[in-house]
C-alpha cells in the first residue's frame, strides 16, 4: 500500500479475481491489430502498462458477431483466430501481477467501414439514422437478435480460452446494446421495445448467455455511458434505472461508467475528451451508480493525475479508476505514484493528437510526449551506447529537449543550449491560448526528463559555428525551430496587418473588427479566433481549407467549433488570402476562384505557416562532426514530429 495514495493502491476483489490496485487502462482502440487478430505490437503495448504498475488492463473491442462490421483494425472474436493473440497478451500482462479483461462489441448503426470500400449494411433495433456517419440501419429480426446474443456468449468463451481474466460487454457510447436501451433509437413494438424492462432484455440475454457459457468464476462486466451528451441520447435517469435492473438480475460483476456517444459530433467528443473538458467530470455519475448497485463501479473520463484518482476512490465515488491516456503518456505512471515519485510522472495534456488522433488516421497509437508508446518493440528499452559522446543540442523546444533527455539516458554527455531565457519553443505560444494552458505540461515533463537524465542546460545562449568549434562536440543536434512565414499580401501597406505570434504575445494592437487568414487550418487559427472574440472583437475566421481545425484531431476541432459558434465567430471556408486595404480584406475562393470581400475590417491577422530557422544548419553544412536536424528546422510541422525525431536520433547515437 502507498503512503501517499492508500486507497488507490489497495486491492480489490471482483468475483474470483483480485486486482492489486485501483488503476486500470480502459478498453481503447490502438490500431495495433493485424488481420483482425491481436498482434505482437499490441501485446508489448499492454505489457508496458502492466510492467508500469497498473492493476488491470482492458483490451480493446472485439467483434462479437459477423454482422458487427467496424474497422479493418478491430479484433474479431467470432472465430478462434483471436485466441493465440489473447494468450500472448495474457502471458505478458500476468507476469507483472496485472490482470487482463477483454471487450466484446457490436456497433449497431455506428458502422462506417467495410473491407472493399462499399457501404456495409448496419443493423440496429430500429431504422433510426446515425447523424455522425449518416447511416440508415436495417432493423434487426428476432432471429438475428438471438444469433448476436449467442455470438457474445461464444466470443466470451474464446476470450477465456485466450487466458484473460474477464470480459466486458460494451454498452457505452451509443453502440448496439445502448441502442436497445435508448427509447429515442429503439422504436420496436415487440418484446425488445417499449418498456424499460423490454429494452433491457437484449443486454440481459447477452449477460445470461455469456454467464451460462463461461461459468460463475469468470469476471463479466458492463461498460455504459451515463450521459451520452447527444441530442438523441437517453436521459440519465433511464440509464441509472437500467443499470439497477441489470444489477438485480445478477450475472454482472461490475459496472464501468463513462460519458459520450458515437452517434453525434457533440457526443463523440466525450469518447476521448480533450483538454477543454473538466477533469474527473464523470465521477459524480459513478457515485450515483454506486448508490444503486452492490458490485464494484469503474469510472473514467479525463482522470490524469493520481491525486484526483485517490480522491475519487477515497470519497466512495468509484472503486476502479480508468487512467488510459495517463498511461499512454507514461506507462510507468502507476508505479511512480505508488512509490511517491509524483514529480517524475509525465502527465497527459489531453491533446488527443497521437492517441485517438492516430486511431482516426488508421495508424498505431502513440503520444506526442512519449513516442515510445505504440513503438515498444523498437524503443521500449534504451539500448546501450556504442561509446560515450559529447552531444550538443541547439534549441530548447520539445524536440531538442527529447533528444537531449534520451541521449543522456543512454550515457552520453549532453549540453542543451537555448537562445532565449525559457525552454519550450512554440509550446509557450500554444499554452497562452484559451483552454490550452495544459499544453504547457509538455515543457514541464520534458524538463523533468532532462533533469533526471543529467542534461546540462544553458539558456540565453544562441549556438553558432564558433560556439560549436569551441566546444568540439562529437554530435550536434539542431532543433532551432521555425518562425512565422513572411507572405506578400497585396495592399498590405495600406492595411493594419499583424502576425499570429505577435497577437498571442500581446504585442499587437488589434482593432474591433478582425479577419484571421488561416492557411494552416490548425489550432492557431481557432485559438486566435477564440482569444480575440473573448476580448470583445468581432471575428471572421477565413480558412484555406474546408473547415477550421481541418488538420487537428476531430474531437478537439469539434469541441472548439462549438465554442467559436457560441462566441459568434463567423467562419469562411475555402478562402485564401489575396489582398487587403485600409478597411477591407480580399479573399479568393480556393475552388471557384471567385472573390470574397470582407468590409469594415480594422485588423488582418495572418496565420500563414512557418519557415524553418536554418542559420546554424547552414553554417555547419561542411562541419566534420555528426550533424542531425530535427523538428521544425528540418521542416515545419508539429510538436509530435519534433519529439519523435528527437527520440529517433538519440536512440541511435
* Domain identity same for 475 and 555: no
Residue 489: inside a domain: no
* Distance between CA atoms of residues 50 and 83, nearest Å: 20
Q: What count of other Cβ atoms lies within 10 Å of the Cβ of residue 284?
A: 12
* Domain identity same for 404 and 349: no
DSSP letter string, 388-441: --EEEEE--SHHHHHHHHHHHHTT-EEEEE-SSSSS-TTHHHHTTSTT-GGGGH
* Domain identity same for 555 and 633: no
Summarize pLDDT for 392-445 with one digit per residue, the tens: 999 999 999 999 999 999 999 999 999 999 999 999 999 999 999 999 999 999
Can you tell me the mean pLDDT for 618-642? 97
* Domain identity same for 116 and 264: yes
Residue 6: inside a domain: no
Identify the domain boundary among 339, 357, 377: 377
Q: What is the pLDDT of residue 116?
A: 80
Could you tell me the three cell numbers for 232? Answer: 438523441
Could you tell me the three cell numbers for 617? Answer: 544548419
Q: Which residues contact 318 (CB under 8 A, 6 or more apart)?
A: 257, 283, 286, 287, 290, 297, 298, 299, 312
Q: Can you say how many angstroms the Cα of residue 543 is from the centroid of all Cα atoms in its chain? A: 25
Could you tell me the three cell numbers for 641? Answer: 514530429
Q: What is the pLDDT of residue 112?
A: 76
Give the domain range for residue 598. 497-608
Identify the domain boundary among 327, 358, 377: 377
Q: Tell me, letter by letter, the H, E, C secondary structure of 324-389.
A: HHHHHHCCCHHHHHHCCCHHHCCCCCCCCCCCHHHHHHCCCCCCCCCCCCCCHHHHCCCCCCCCCC
> What residues are paired with 12 via a beta bridge?
19
* Distance between CA atoms of residues 587 and 572, nearest Å: 10
* Domain identity same for 303 and 341: yes
* Distance between CA atoms of residues 274 and 291, nearest Å: 29
Summarize pLDDT for 3-22 with one digit per residue, the tens: 899 999 999 999 999 999 99
Could you tell me the three cell numbers for 505? Answer: 504575445
Contact 649, 379 (CB under 8 A): no
The overall average pLDDT reported for the chain is: 97
Q: Which residues contact 195 (CB under 8 A, 6 or more apart)?
A: none
Q: What count of other Cβ atoms lies within 10 Å of the Cβ of residue 594?
A: 8
* Distance between CA atoms of residues 539 and 528, nearest Å: 9
Q: Which residues contact 497 (CB under 8 A, 6 or more apart)?
A: 489, 580, 603, 604, 605, 606
Helices assigned H by DSSP within 162-264 = 176-181, 196-214, 236-249
Residue 5: inside a domain: no
Could you tell me the three cell numbers for 528? Answer: 486566435
Residue 2: inside a domain: no
Nearest to 601 by CA among 544, 537, 558: 537
* Domain identity same for 274 and 297: yes
* Domain identity same for 472 and 532: no
CATH number at residue 423: 3.40.50.720
Contact 102, 58 (CB under 8 A): yes
Per the listing, cell 424492462 goes with 197
* Domain identity same for 364 and 416: no
Summarize pLDDT for 218-227 with one digit per residue, the tens: 999 999 999 9
Residue 490: inside a domain: no
Summarize pLDDT for 241-291 with one digit per residue, the tens: 999 999 998 899 999 999 999 999 999 999 999 999 999 999 999 999 999
Instruction: Judge whether residue 24 has pLDDT over 90.
Output: yes
DSSP assigned state of 130: B
Nearest to 56 by CA among 82, 86, 29, 17: 17
* Domain identity same for 218 and 346: yes
Could you tell me the three cell numbers for 152? Answer: 457474445
Q: What is the pLDDT of residue 82?
A: 98
Could you tell me the three cell numbers for 639? Answer: 510538436
DSSP assigned state of 618: H
Nearest to 49 by CA among 39, 41, 57: 57
Can you tell me the mean pLDDT for 79-87? 98
Residue 337: inside a domain: yes
CATH number at residue 144: 3.20.20.70
* Distance between CA atoms of residues 531 and 574, nearest Å: 22
Residue 62: inside a domain: yes
Summarize pLDDT for 323-348 with one digit per residue, the tens: 999 999 999 999 999 999 999 999 99
Q: Can you say how many angstroms the Cα of residue 47 is from the centroid of all Cα atoms in its chain? A: 20
* Domain identity same for 259 and 164: yes
Residue 318: inside a domain: yes
Half-sphere exposure in the Cβ direction for 380 (13 Å, CA):
17
Could you tell me the three cell numbers for 262? Answer: 458515437
Could you tell me the three cell numbers for 128? Answer: 433510426
* pLDDT tier for residue 1 given thresholds of 50, 70 and 90: low
Residues 109, 114, 119, 123: is their CA dihedral positive or negative? negative
Q: What is the largest CA-CA distance in the chain?
A: 84
* pLDDT tier for residue 357 given thresholds of 50, 70 and 90: very high
Q: Can you say how many angstroms the Cα of residue 299 is from the centroid of all Cα atoms in its chain? A: 17
DSSP assigned state of 169: E
Q: Can you say how many angstroms the Cα of residue 214 is from the centroid of all Cα atoms in its chain? A: 33
* Distance between CA atoms of residues 121 and 119, nearest Å: 7
Q: What percent of the chain has pLDDT over 70?
A: 100
Per the listing, cell 537562445 goes with 419
Domain total in the chain:
3
Contact 408, 453 (CB under 8 A): yes
Identify the domain boundary among 353, 377, 401: 377
Helices assigned H by DSSP within 61-195 = 83-94, 142-161, 176-181
Nearest to 459 by CA among 421, 424, 405: 421
Summarize pLDDT for 388-401 with one digit per residue, the tens: 999 999 999 999 99
CATH number at residue 519: 3.50.50.60
* Domain identity same for 301 and 447: no
* Distance between CA atoms of residues 56 and 606, nearest Å: 48
Instruction: Judge whether residue 81 has pLDDT over 80.
Output: yes
* Domain identity same for 616 and 604: no
> Strand, helix or coil at 8?
coil
Instruction: Judge whether residue 2 has pLDDT over 90.
Output: no
Amino acid at each position: 500500500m502507498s503512503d501517499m495514495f492508500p486507497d488507490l493502491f489497495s486491492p480489490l476483489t471482483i468475483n474470483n479475481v483480485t486486482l492489486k490496485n485501483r488503476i486500470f487502462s480502459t478498453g481503447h482502440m490502438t490500431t495495433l491489430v493485424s488481420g483482425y487478430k491481436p498482434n505482437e505490437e499490441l501485446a508489448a503495448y499492454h505489457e508496458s502498462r502492466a510492467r508500469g504498475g497498473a492493476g488491470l488492463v482492458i483490451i480493446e473491442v472485439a467483434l462479437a458477431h459477423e454482422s458487427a462490421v467496424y474497422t479493418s483494425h478491430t479484433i474479431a472474436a467470432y472465430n478462434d483466430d483471436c485466441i493465440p493473440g489473447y494468450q500472448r497478451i495474457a502471458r505478458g500482462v500476468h507476469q507483472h501481477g496485472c490482470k487482463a479483461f477483454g471487450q466484446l462489441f457490436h456497433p449497431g448503426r455506428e458502422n462506417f467501414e467495410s473491407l472493399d470500400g462499399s457501404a456495409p449494411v448496419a443493423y440496429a433495433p430500429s431504422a433510426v439514422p446515425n447523424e455522425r456517419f449518416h447511416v440508415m440501419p436495417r432493423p434487426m429480426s428476432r432471429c438475428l437478435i438471438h444469433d448476436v446474443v449467442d455470438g457474445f456468449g461464444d466470443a466470451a468463451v474464446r476470450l477465456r480460452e485466450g487466458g484473460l481474466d474477464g470480459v466486458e460487454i460494451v454498452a457505452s457510447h451509443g453502440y448496439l446494446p445502448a441502442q436497445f436501451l435508448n427509447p429515442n433509437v429503439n422504436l420496436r413494438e415487440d418484446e425488445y421495445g417499449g418498456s424499460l424492462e423490454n429494452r433491457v432484455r437484449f443486454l440481459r440475454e447477452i449477460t445470461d448467455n455469456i454467464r451460462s457459457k463461461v461459468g460463475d468464476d469468470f469476471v463479466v462486466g458492463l461498460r455504459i455511458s451515463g450521459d451520452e451528451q447527444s441530442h438523441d441520447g437517453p436521459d440519465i435517469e433511464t440509464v441509472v434505472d437500467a443499470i439497477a435492473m441489470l444489477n438485480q438480475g445478477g450475472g454482472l460483476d461490475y459496472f464501468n461508467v463513462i460519458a459520450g456517444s458515437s452517434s453525434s459530433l457533440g457526443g463523440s467528443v466525450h469518447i476521448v475528451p480533450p483538454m477543454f473538458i473538466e477533469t474527473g467530470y464523470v465521477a459524480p455519475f459513478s457515485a450515483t451508480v454506486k448508490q444503486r448497485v452492490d458490485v464494484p463501479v469503474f469510472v473514467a473520463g479525463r482522470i490524469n493525475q493520481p491525486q484526483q484518482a485517490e480522491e475519487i476512490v477515497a470519497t466512495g465515488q468509484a472503486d476502479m479508476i480508468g487512467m488510459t491516456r495517463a498511461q499512454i503518456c507514461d506507462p510507468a505512471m502507476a508505479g511512480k505514484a505508488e512509490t511517491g515519485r509524483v514529480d517524475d510522472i509525465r502527465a497527459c495534456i489531453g491533446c488527443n493528437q497521437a492517441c485517438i488522433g492516430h486511431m482516426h488516421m488508421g495508424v498505431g497509437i502513440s503520444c506526442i510526449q512519449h513516442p515510445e508508446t505504440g513503438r515498444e518493440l523498437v524503443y521500449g528499452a534504451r539500448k546501450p551506447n556504442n561509446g560515450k559522446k559529447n552531444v550538443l543540442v541547439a534549441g530548447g523546444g520539445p524536440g531538442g529537449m527529447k533528444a537531449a533527455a534520451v541521449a543522456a539516458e543512454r550515457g552520453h554527455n549532453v549540453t542543451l543550449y537555448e537562445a532565449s531565457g525559457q525552454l519550450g519553443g512554440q509550446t509557450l505560444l500554444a499554452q497562452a491560448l484559451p483552454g490550452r494552458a495544459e499544453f504547457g505540461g509538455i515543457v514541464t515533463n520534458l524538463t523533468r526528463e532532462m533533469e533526471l537524465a543529467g542534461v546540462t542546460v544553458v539558456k540565453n545562449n544562441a549556438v553558432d559555428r564558433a560556439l560549436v568549434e569551441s566546444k568540439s562536440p562529437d554530435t550536434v543536434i539542431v532543433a532551432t525551430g521555425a518562425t512565422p512565414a513572411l507572405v506578400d499580401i497585396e495592399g498590405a501597406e495600406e492595411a493594419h496587418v499583424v502576425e499570429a505570434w505577435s497577437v498571442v504575445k500581446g504585442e499587437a494592437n488589434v482593432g474591433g473588427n478582425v479577419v484571421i487568414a488561416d492557411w494552416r487550418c490548425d489550432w492557431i487559427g481557432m485559438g486566435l479566433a477564440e482569444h480575440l472574440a473573448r476580448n470583445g472583437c468581432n471575428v471572421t475566421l477565413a480558412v484555406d481549407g474546408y473547415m477550421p481545425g481541418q488538420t487537428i484531431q476531430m474531437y478537439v476541432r469539434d469541441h472548439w467549433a462549438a465554442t467559436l459558434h457560441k462566441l459568434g465567430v463567423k467562419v469562411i471556408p475555402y478562402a485564401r488570402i489575396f489582398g487587403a486595404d485600409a478597411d477591407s480584406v480580399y479573399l479568393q475562393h480556393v475552388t471557384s476562384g471567385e472573390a470574397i470581400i470582407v468590409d469594415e475590417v480594422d485588423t488582418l491577422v495572418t496565420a500563414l505557416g512557418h519557415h524553418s530557422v536554418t542559420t546554424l544548419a547552414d553554417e555547419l553544412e561542411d562541419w566534420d562532426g555528426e550533424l542531425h536536424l530535427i523538428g521544425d528546422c528540418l521542416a515545419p510541422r508539429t510538436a509530435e514530429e519534433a519529439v519523435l525525431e528527437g527520440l529517433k536520433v538519440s536512440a541511435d547515437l
